[in-house]
Structure 1
Amino acid sequence: MNIVVIGGGLAAANAAGELREQGHTGDIVVVGGEPHPPYERPPLSKGLLLGSSEPDEAQVHPREWYDEHQVDLREGTVATAIDLDRRRVQLSSGELPYDRLLLATGATPRHLPMADGSGAPVLHLRTLDDALALRERLSEGARIAIIGAGWIGLEVASAARQRGASVTVLESAPLPLQRVLGDEIATVFADLHRAHGVDLRLGVRVAGVENEHGEAVVHVEGADPVVADLLVVAVGVSPTDELAARAGLAVDNGILVDAWLRTPDPHVFAAGDVANHDHPTLGTHVRVEHWDTAIHHGRHAARVMLGSDEPYTRLPYFFTDQYDLGMEYVGHGAGYDDLVVRGDLAAREASVLWLREDRVIAGMHLNDWDAIGPLRAVVGQPATEAVRDPAVPLGDLM
């Protein structure tokens, strides 16, 4: 059986590894648009920016692994079309047949036309090359402006401050991460960054971006402009699903897949950031843009392509490190109607549970590394009186 994987990232590399681990002996071709072997993205906004890690450390497999495991890795190669009827992938360099096709095309940073057309120094952080370019600009006294206070924007702000740069973050919402975490927990992150010297401006609207003498001048409605040596635009990503859409596959905020990561075409699967997955535990479609999901989606899709009939039930998980705060989050807290806080938010040592309709839908800890096991166990369970009582130890809920 000939398997083609489109996408040169974490999901793709883990799918290839799992296929060989499961004993698949047929051809495996991995098609990646970047001129690098597949790598992990978390270091790009963490260790790589801080200078505590180097590019080779982010690789999923050493370059020689692909030859040793007879995986045909095609770096710098773009897939331009899929013919579902003929089971062919059109590449910039020719055509590939497939028996099974995995789409792991990831996501693409959203752009602001006002910034792109300004001629000002502007960066988006998505690729290894982006991270290396940004690291060069994070120096003592550098002025960094960031539009967007999501996870990437805040992690860049943290790295920049730790490298000695001055940082201004502009966010249209009243709080950073408000949509994901809700007001009470979002406030923790706002306070954290302000305590570390970030000029965090919330509820503002960026009116324009100009280049003046090689500097980025960011105009803000009703306020003085922000002048920076570099502007980082971090306003989220969009799933890279155009290839699937052109082929006639169903897309809606990503490629729609069932509980097994299958598209309606029985020969085509999707995994990672681009997959909008019908999650059997959460009871809804979710598209997750995080490291853990890319790893486990890739491995699971590989097993299903080889005949497994197990649905993908792993809960979404992500983590962040900012200054002295470490956090892990599991579940999907959108639409919560109650919140239980255990511990001391002000001291940033706590666990939090998000509830909806008397069920735990997400959990998070701040600097409590023993909590992730109990949190995983309780998410998806009924919100009993014990769950709602912060005096009951988290471990007793398992």
Structure 2
Amino acid sequence: MPSNIAVVGASVAGVEAVLALRGAGYDGRLTLVGADPELPYNPTPLSKELLTGDMEEDDIRLLPEEEFENLDVGLRLGRPAKGLDLAERRVDVDGSPLPYDGLIIATGSRAVRPRGWFGREGVHTLRTLDDARRVHEAMTQGRPSVVVVGAGFIGCEIAAAARHHGLDVTLVEAAASPLLRAVPAALAAPVVRLQEARGVRVVCGVGVARLLGGIRVDKVELTDGTLLDADLVVVGVGAVPATDWLDGSGLSVEDGVITDATLRTTAPGVYAVGDAARWPHPATGDPIRVEHWTNAREQGRRAALNLLDPRAAQPYTGVPYVWSDQFGQRFQLAGTAHAKHLHFLDGGPDDESYLAVLGDGETVVGAVGFGGTPRQFNKARRLVADGTAWAEAVSRHE
């Protein structure tokens, strides 16, 4: 058993790894490193309840500071990892060496920041607590016109929060439909109708040419020449794994740290989890990377247990799951929605709510629900987790 474990990344995955290590009886030295100076927090409410004011900052803390003390965890917050020496088994933490004999990489991801967009005031991404503070302050100072660039889950949630504050909002998406990376356009249609019914202008199939203004942004020019008034621009066009600090380390990194099914990297005693990891899909074996809370939490626990007992290491087999709350309605996705076959268990894309399963012809590989009850969706989610035969799932609900 290792006697000196470092968890790099004070994320959901990192904190879950710490809890799992202590919960499994590990009593050696344990250090949690985080680039963010904040006490670790849950990022999920940043674009939802924290923006609307339905939650306070204390509500999203993963653990109070005294709990880290009780767990005998050394916190190094506000001190980013800058390098990894596998031969010497040490992490460069902001210029100071941190030795380890067990390492879990949980550095998450960072927002994509298109070049040339961030030289003016009023332009933000939303990835950290400090980002959320700035966006919330901007939304509640006067009545700014808001342009949200990128209609993925976070973009749609930010647009909903802006309307909660009664603001003029335009949601711009370069693809043909919102949420297109996650679901086909037909399954996103009820979400689009809800956004528009609540006063959000949804503009798809056109990109952003440039942002205009002096010290502050005041307009967004689209690629078709349209000019949008914009006192506040929030950019949500994706994220990339925060793995730059591993350059030259010798670890295999390709859109995330490459791991095997047990989340172990190419180096002994080194594991990667959450947004920063790329591991084999349990069904297909294809490498995947998932940026969702449940995945991060479950992987943090699994990697911690595997690190403590590599000979009994278990593969990570969790089904990717994500939810999004908008205007009081919940959108949920388990598995994948990009599959050959689609069957509605309840409602349809023209209804205000629906529940659907997706399959590859042999098994159920995904479930998507909008509205409805958690109990209904959980039944469909179990079909994915169990690898239920497609014919059985369809016949059972016809």
Deviation at 1:245, TM superposition (A): 3.4
Q: Could you list the per-position Cα deviations for residues 340-382 of structure 1 after superposition, in whole angstroms to 9, with x for gaps in the alignment?
A: 1222244433211121243211112222211233223211525
Asked if the contact 2:108/2:275 (under 8 Å) is kept, the reply is: yes
Partners of 1:318 and 1:225 in 2: CA distance: 34
One-letter amino acid of the structure 2 residue matched with residue 344 of structure 1: G
Partners of 2:215 and 2:12 in 1: CA distance: 40
Structure 1 segment 1-398 matched on structure 2, within 5 A: 1-117=3-119, 119-139=120-140, 141-212=143-214, 214-307=216-309, 308-334=312-338, 336-345=339-348, 346-367=350-371, 368-379=373-384, 381-389=387-395, 391-392=397-398
Q: Could you list the per-position Cα deviations for residues 92-143 of structure 1 after superposition, in whole angstroms to 9, with x for gaps in the alignment?
A: 24111101011101001001113124x2420000000000111112237321
Deviation at 1:282, TM superposition (A): 4.6
Partners of 1:32 and 1:169 in 2: CA distance: 33
Asked if the contact 1:14/1:295 (under 8 Å) is kept, the reply is: yes
User: Which stretch has the larger CA shift, 42-51 or 211-220?
Assistant: 211-220
Deviation at 1:280, TM superposition (A): 2.0
Partners of 1:167 and 1:80 in 2: CA distance: 39
Asked if the contact 1:338/1:355 (under 8 Å) is kept, the reply is: yes
Deviation at 1:317, TM superposition (A): 1.0
Using the size of structure 2 for normalisation, the TM-score is: 0.94
Partners of 1:228 and 1:305 in 2: CA distance: 49
Asked if the contact 1:288/1:316 (under 8 Å) is kept, the reply is: yes
Asked if the contact 2:364/2:390 (under 8 Å) is kept, the reply is: no
Partners of 1:193 and 1:390 in 2: CA distance: 33
User: Which stretch has the larger CA shift, 30-39 or 346-355?
Assistant: 346-355
In structure 1, runs of 5+ residues without a counterpart are 393-398
One-letter amino acid of the structure 2 residue matched with residue 323 of structure 1: F
Partners of 2:352 and 2:285 in 1: CA distance: 32
Seen in structure 2, the aligned counterparts of structure 1 residues 311 and 281 have a Cα distance that, compared at 3 Å, is same
One-letter amino acid of the structure 2 residue matched with residue 384 of structure 1: W
Q: Could you list the per-position Cα deviations for residues 54-110 of structure 1 after superposition, in whole angstroms to 9, with x for gaps in the alignment?
A: 111111111111111100011111111111011011122411110101110100100
The percent identity for this pair of structures is: 34
Partners of 1:84 and 1:240 in 2: CA distance: 18
Using the size of structure 1 for normalisation, the TM-score is: 0.94
Seen in structure 2, the aligned counterparts of structure 1 residues 81 and 48 have a Cα distance that, compared at 3 Å, is same
Partners of 1:186 and 1:328 in 2: CA distance: 11
**Residue aligned with 2:181, SS:** helix
Partners of 1:348 and 1:245 in 2: CA distance: 48
One-letter amino acid of the structure 2 residue matched with residue 276 of structure 1: R
User: Which stretch has the larger CA shift, 210-219 or 314-323?
Assistant: 210-219
Asked if the contact 2:359/2:390 (under 8 Å) is kept, the reply is: no
**Residue aligned with 1:112, SS:** coil
Deviation at 1:213, TM superposition (A): 6.6
1:396 corresponds to which residue?
Answer: none
Partners of 2:342 and 2:181 in 1: CA distance: 14
Partners of 1:208 and 1:220 in 2: CA distance: 7
Q: How many residues align?
A: 390
Asked if the contact 1:330/1:376 (under 8 Å) is kept, the reply is: yes
Partners of 2:263 and 2:298 in 1: CA distance: 11
Partners of 1:302 and 1:222 in 2: CA distance: 50
Q: Could you list the per-position Cα deviations for residues 262-298 of structure 1 after superposition, in whole angstroms to 9, with x for gaps in the alignment?
A: 0011111001111111132353222110111111111
Asked if the contact 2:89/2:101 (under 8 Å) is kept, the reply is: yes
Deviation at 1:324, TM superposition (A): 2.6
Partners of 1:223 and 1:93 in 2: CA distance: 48
Deviation at 1:184, TM superposition (A): 0.8
Partners of 1:311 and 1:386 in 2: CA distance: 27
Q: Could you list the per-position Cα deviations for residues 225-283 of structure 1 after superposition, in whole angstroms to 9, with x for gaps in the alignment?
A: 11111111110000112223321111111111111000011111001111111132353
One-letter amino acid of the structure 2 residue matched with residue 310 of structure 1: Q
Q: What is the RMSD computed on CA atoms of the aligned residues?
A: 1.7
Asked if the contact 2:212/2:219 (under 8 Å) is kept, the reply is: yes
Q: Could you list the per-position Cα deviations for residues 289-348 of structure 1 after superposition, in whole angstroms to 9, with x for gaps in the alignment?
A: 0111111111111101110421111111111100031122211334x1111122224443
